Amino acid sequence: MLLVPLLAAGLSGTAAGTASASGLSPTGLPATAVATASAAAIPPICESRLPKEAGDTIRLIDRGGPFPYPKDGTVFQNREGLLPQKPRGFYREYTVKTPGLETRGARRIVTSGSEGRNGMYYTANHYRSFSDIDFTC
């Protein structure tokens, strides 16, 4: 399994998914293999452990809006390659408000196609890492 050697080598996150001009990652493996391994290792997070504002955003997503920011519901391109590779337009991003900030901040919920709650991811650090939201705990 490709994931084990990558983790053993200490390679994860965006560094492992970065391709050179040759199409190889810093490990010398094809960049697509590294991105796929990274996407397979997305850790879960219980919905109950998310910030209160994430729950507010999830409820808005479930209702179809209205959303507080114009960028909410726009295409998330997964340029970082941390989520499973899908066609453009598959992922959508939504802002999770951060108390005390006037800007959108770094927190987001990313949804997957029409998978509803079966395909929601949370990032607290503007796409540097993701957690797969688990609604069963």
Q: Are residues 125 and 108 part of one domain?
A: yes
Q: Which residue in 47, 80, 115, 126 is the catalytic one?
A: 126
pLDDT tens-place string over residues 56-87: 999 999 999 999 999 999 999 999 999 999 99
Q: Which residue in 53, 93, 102, 115 is the catalytic one?
A: 93
pTM of the model: 0.71
93 given a catalytic annotation: yes
Q: Are residues 62 and 33 part of one domain?
A: no
Report the CATH number at residue 116: 3.10.450.30
Residue ranges making up the domain that contains 19:
3-40
Q: Beginning with the edge strand found earlier in the chain, give each strand of the sheet holding 91-95 in spatial order.
A: 44-46, 131-134, 120-123, 108-112, 91-95, 74-76
pLDDT tens-place string over residues 33-57: 444 445 568 999 999 999 999 999 9
126 given a catalytic annotation: yes
User: What's the whole-number average pLDDT of the chain?
Assistant: 80
